[in-house]
Structure 1
Amino acid sequence: MPSLVGIDSGLTVTKAVIFDADGTVLSVARRRVPQLIPEPRHVERDMDGLWSATADAIREAVQKSGRPASDIVGIAATAHGDGIYLVDRELRPLGPAVTSLDTRASAVADAWNESDVGERSLQLTGQKPHASAPSAVLRWIRDNQPERYGRIGHVLAAKDWLRLCLCGTIGTDRTEASTSFTNVRTQAYDPDALALFGLEALNAGLPEMAASTEIVGTVTRLAAEQTGLAEGTPVMAGLHDVTASALGMGGYRQGIAAVIAGTYSINETVSDAPKIDARWFCRNGIAPGEWNNMSISPASTANYDWFLEKFFAAEIRDAEQAGQSIHDLVAREFAAASGRPSSAMFHPYLFGSPFGGATSAGFFGLNAWHDRGDAIRAVFEGIAFNHRIHVDALKDGFAPGTARLTGGISRNPAMAQLFADILGMPVTATATEEAAAWGAALCAGAGAGLFASPTSDPRDLESIETTYYPDPGRREALDRKYRVFLDIADAMRPIWPRLQDLG
């Protein structure tokens, strides 16, 4: 019986998921991948360590699946987008990878956006530069690490490095290729983009583009020994994780805002023509003549994870020892706090924001009578408010009528309802397991001939979905709070850089 492997390599965990051809999860294996922070604003990872962890996860998943590796008819990867994974001309890692949480290049991006480069980039590539954009990171390397820059053989993304390790071929797919250097109208690489950023020397280093469903190689003997996969298993090009998540949750189509509440606040919708605006990235869709419009910021549930780590450390230990979930305790405190008025508010900008590189997180409106539950509520509302900034932008441009929500936070019905109330639109929470990995597996399945296309999802989606509708009363109260949230952000704009200067 045919099965598929979807690899999903995020910013903290890399995982391998084996799916039956009907979308049933057969097995999942995860490995944590440590972040390296050698100095402020540098967030890196060891590339060989990432592959080793991923290979271990694949081996475990194959063993747990109960199926022989020979049943696997295709494998595809998705991974965090943006950032840079460099290899030299011998195809070896050229230093640690720069992840999408890295902000060393924020001054580069800010300077470009304060000059005409930002607007020219928007018109040419469909997006303005940002701190973790390949363009900005590569320019920082050019200016600060010239010896390393001169040794660049190939400029890859995270999933493309995993592909190289699996099948030994260099390349990328259409969705990943459009992070900095493609023409938004032709959807192909444009030398003018490299020239705009002063990176002309890297023209030969841009990886060849393939369709996400295209077979780009087969599992090598060495990779088979490392992973437990069968040598010769087809490897497909895969896709950017933002697109993979929308595809896997059934939200990759026009008229729908796909909302992924993960490390990043990811909000996206598909169009059949390019539409350019500084509030979103207009990037290549999966198929030619398709665009995926992404409004994102590194400001979603990573803030919740931080809050748990800092304020629930003892409770986490107790819950683990008792075999319970810390999230159940958090849900109870959130529910209790939601039953009373509260002025407490949180800007979820620990790792970045939609407002530029100099932002930081903060609680506002706290008084002595507030407790930890009020702080939890403020964190959750702040996360959803930040998603609304992005969804409102997409509403302006594309008028999606509904939203689909995924991410660990969406499994709490109270949180899904909160998103509906704050976004002011029906929100469908899907019980899709491992949405991004399933999106990659759909591409592998299409490439293997199991599915007519990546969007030919064989599952009965209605059976795993619940739709939440805005409550008029809560919607009105949260809308008032949202306006204050935005007003505070406006007031903080001149103060955030001064805070940053304090170190």
Structure 2
Amino acid sequence: MLLGIDLGTSMTKAAAFDLDGTCLAVSSRKPTLRHLGKGRIEQDFEDVVRLVSEVVREVVADAGRVPEAIGITGQSDGLWLLDENARPVRPAISWLDNRGSPYLQDWMDSGVYEEVFRRNGNAIFPGSHAPFMAALAQEDPGALTRAATASYLKDGILQRLTGARVTDASDASLPFLDTRTRDYDPEILELLGLSDCARLLAPVMPAPGQAFPLSAEGARLTGLPEGVPVHAGPFDIVACAVGAGVDQVGDGLVIIGTTLACEVLVDRVDTGGEPVGMTLCMPQEGRWMRALPATVGTASLDWILDLVGAECTQVEALLAQSRPGANGVTALPYFSATGERAPFADVRARGQLCGLNTGTSKGDMVMAICESVAYAARHCVEAAGLSGRLSVSGGGANSATWSQMIADVLQCPLAIAPKPEVGARGACLAAADAIGIDCDRAAWTKAEGVIEPRAELRDHYQSGFAHYLETVEAARRLWHSPEKERLGTASHPPLVSA
């Protein structure tokens, strides 16, 4: 048995698989996000440690076996400041937090943002390490002084379970890594004014990573025997690609999660073009994931559901009340307080609902948001350079209507990634590679089916996508108009207009 742990933003999960890839048991718990107001969102590392203990014990009991190895994946970014014993020195700053936005805007205005991208193919966004470090250097410098590591969540859990202080190249890719050499680039730290923070960066594991034995403390937390190999990496959007079988250059994956993560496997680092997105090191040398993780995923759907007083279990019924085109209602789904990061970067990006009238139904508004996310997926996938097979995963993919809509908008077949827990599945495969367990990858990553696009909707959604792009360009000019600058658009709530 292999055990995968997935430390998501909205759920902490563990899943057990036999060596043929069959899922034996799954357990999950919901972590607590502390919303402090003014866009500030934090988490308690010890709360996540407790949840990991619970889900691992529950899965192992249900499966009735001791795992041969444990693979960990999870949310990247955010800032988890830990001491030398992997204890938090302050609450973790979630990647959803927007306190880094002013610092990112300064780097964008000064050209530093683009200089960093031209070095490693990664566009800094407000929820990544660099803006948070810059913010804490101003508002809580003592936390940086007390910390031994500016960790990622899964690396902090690895350290608690094994004592190992390391990180995976996929996490470290953004913002400080030279993605070609897989080592930190001191020039990037200097450009950002963060050279003093170099001591906080954990060593990067060489490909394909390394497993570390479960320590006595890790054994107490998990109920497992000491010595079980534990591997942390790659982080969730890369692990999902591994679990979905994205293994040929040009193949891609759309993850309809809190983030709409659109990614394509590439064989070179491209630092040209518009400075957006991520270039993430894969477990294999010479391979990278060109990722465009937009902030417009299920979080946008959750926002509209809350607005109309509906639950996620009602999505299919609400969509059935409308039709393609949402009876004239259109949307831009940029409702994150941190703006947008793919396929363009703009901390002032804000959402819109247009074409409302007294006859507009709740279903029309939900349909418009879902269609706008589908358009965003096409926008990102095309920018990432998709040329091969495309798969789909994530919680949003559980909606058959929404998944079909995305296939129709892209006019591309969507292979349904294997369920359950594609991220944990990828983490297990990475762990197996690290310790030399030979798994049948074709069996582990076999698609559950294929969603074919409906040809009769090609022209409709082609026109809808063209309108979407026109609206995006018009809105980008408005976000930066002198009047919006004066009003401080970046801190205002999303715009809803008729």
TM-score for both structures, normalised by structure 2: 0.91
Contact kept, 8 Å, 1:411 with 1:431, in 2: the verdict is: no
2:441 is matched with 457
Equivalence map 1:263-342=2 (5 Å): 263-276=258-271, 277=273, 278-313=275-310, 316=311, 327=313, 329-338=314-323, 342=327
Identify which of 6, 14, 30 aligns with 2:28: 30
Contact kept, 8 Å, 2:207 with 2:283, in 1: the verdict is: yes
Contact kept, 8 Å, 2:305 with 2:366, in 1: the verdict is: no
* Compared CA separation, residues 458 and 225, structure 1 to 2 (3 A): farther
Identify which of 4, 8, 11 aligns with 1:10: 8
Identify which of 77, 98, 110 aligns with 1:115: 110
User: Is residue 413 of structure 2 the alignment partner of residue 426 of structure 1?
Assistant: yes
User: Is residue 202 of structure 2 the alignment partner of residue 207 of structure 1?
Assistant: yes
* Compared CA separation, residues 447 and 90, structure 1 to 2 (3 A): closer
2:372 is matched with 382
Q: 1:308 & 1:47 partners in 2: Cα distance?
A: 29
Q: 2:204 & 2:167 partners in 1: Cα distance?
A: 5
Equivalence map 1:49-128=2 (5 Å): 49-67=47-65, 69=66, 72-128=67-123
Identify which of 478, 481, 499 aligns with 2:464: 481
Contact kept, 8 Å, 2:20 with 2:443, in 1: the verdict is: yes
- By how many angstroms is 1:460 displaced? 6.4
1:258-287 residue CA offsets vs partner (Å, 9 max, x unmatched): 111100010111112111242331221212
Identify which of 44, 47, 59 aligns with 2:45: 47
- By how many angstroms is 1:151 displaced? 2.3
Identify which of 340, 356, 359 aligns with 1:369: 359
1:320 is matched with none
Q: 2:224 & 2:352 partners in 1: Cα distance?
A: 47
| Gap runs ≥5 in structure 2 | 494-498
Q: 1:204 & 1:446 partners in 2: Cα distance?
A: 30
User: Is residue 404 of structure 2 the alignment partner of residue 409 of structure 1?
Assistant: no
User: Is residue 331 of structure 2 the alignment partner of residue 346 of structure 1?
Assistant: yes
* Compared CA separation, residues 106 and 430, structure 1 to 2 (3 A): same
SS of alignment partner, residue 218 of structure 2: helix
1:139 is matched with 134
Deviates more, 1:108-117 or 1:279-288: 279-288
1:18-45 residue CA offsets vs partner (Å, 9 max, x unmatched): 1111111111111111101223121110
- By how many angstroms is 1:470 displaced? 2.8
* Compared CA separation, residues 84 and 374, structure 1 to 2 (3 A): same
Residues matched between the structures, number: 479
Contact kept, 8 Å, 1:300 with 1:386, in 2: the verdict is: no
Q: 1:377 & 1:240 partners in 2: Cα distance?
A: 31
Equivalence map 1:167-316=2 (5 Å): 167-211=162-206, 213-276=208-271, 277=273, 278-313=275-310, 316=311
- By how many angstroms is 1:219 displaced? 1.4
- By how many angstroms is 1:87 displaced? 1.2
Q: 1:20 & 1:341 partners in 2: Cα distance?
A: 44
User: Is residue 488 of structure 2 the alignment partner of residue 490 of structure 1?
Assistant: no
Deviates more, 1:486-495 or 1:372-381: 486-495
| Gap runs ≥5 in structure 1 | 317-325
* Compared CA separation, residues 232 and 417, structure 1 to 2 (3 A): same
SS of alignment partner, residue 26 of structure 2: strand
SS of alignment partner, residue 449 of structure 2: strand
Deviates more, 1:424-433 or 1:32-41: 424-433
Q: 1:131 & 1:488 partners in 2: Cα distance?
A: 24
2:496 is matched with none
Q: 1:457 & 1:17 partners in 2: Cα distance?
A: 17
- By how many angstroms is 1:164 displaced? 0.9
* Compared CA separation, residues 199 and 460, structure 1 to 2 (3 A): closer
User: Is residue 162 of structure 2 the alignment partner of residue 159 of structure 1?
Assistant: no
Q: 2:81 & 2:444 partners in 1: Cα distance?
A: 41
Deviates more, 1:143-152 or 1:112-121: 143-152
